[in-house]
Amino acid sequence: MKDFIKSLKEYRIEITEQDIYMLMSFYSNKEEDGMNYEHFMKDLISPMNDFRRKLTDKLYSKMDPQN
């Protein structure tokens, strides 16, 4: 939990202690006695919209023309 709080502070995300405990409870990983960061990140990062996806595809094709 200390790493999670440290990360929030590094990214200047202000959150109450109550909200931290709520997140930790919701994303708890019962098997490893910690937080399921993969699940948390999937929920945090939204899918790319059509514009972002096309732009990313275009950039990748320029970086790797052999594709």
* pTM higher than the cut 0.85: no
8-state DSSP, 45? S
Q: pLDDT tens-digit profile of 22-49? A: 888 888 877 777 788 888 888 888 788 8
Q: Report whether 16 contacts 23 (CB < 8 A).
A: no
Give the list of residues 6+ apart from residue 61 with CB closer than 8 angstroms, or none.
Answer: 67
Cβ atoms of 35 and 28 closer than 8 Å:
yes
Q: Which two tokens stand for residue 14?
A: 């202000």
Q: What does the alpha-carbon distance between residue 57 and residue 35 come to, in Å, rounded to a whole number?
A: 33
Residue 64: which pLDDT band, with cuts at 50, 70 and 90? confident
